[in-house]
Structure 1
């Protein structure tokens, strides 16, 4: 029995990738996103990964068309091609929730 026979869709068919997508910090990486068969969203949200280690670098959202509030006329919320990005600048592993004061300071750069 194949995945198609059971009504399931192979996950690999839904995961897409692109190369050299920038995070908000300007680091290039692999952009990966989940794409549905009938995906009607006006934007695509990428997770940006380091191409060598697959470490999470941040996110990037790109608008694929002009989205209008509630699907009606007026001014669009964003313009086709507009992008919004985030970047993960640092992360730490702690041995308990919240960690120590030094660990919390390190996370916020202080």
Structure 2
């Protein structure tokens, strides 16, 4: 199966495109998380604006991640991979997505 994928240029391109999309969604979410942690504690100052912007940026990152996740599921369903392996990959894909974004959320809350 590995050589079949490695010799298929479209499959390799799709894999790297998907990984790039994961990175873009993750970086966007992380930027919002970082901004949330850098906001000053004074609620009457300009911190409220920073926190609102941080939440908006994190929301865009989550939206991009959800689109990427749905696209990955769709592409995986179109493959000829046996059902059991496709199911394992769907679970791994979903768990990794939720885990990575929860790490960013927990880091934002902890600061």
**Would you call these one fold, judging by a TM-score over 0.5?**
no
Using structure 1 for the length normalisation, give the TM-score: 0.23
Which structure has the larger Rg? Answer: 1
Structure with greater contact order relative to length (CA < 8 Å, sep ≥ 6): 2
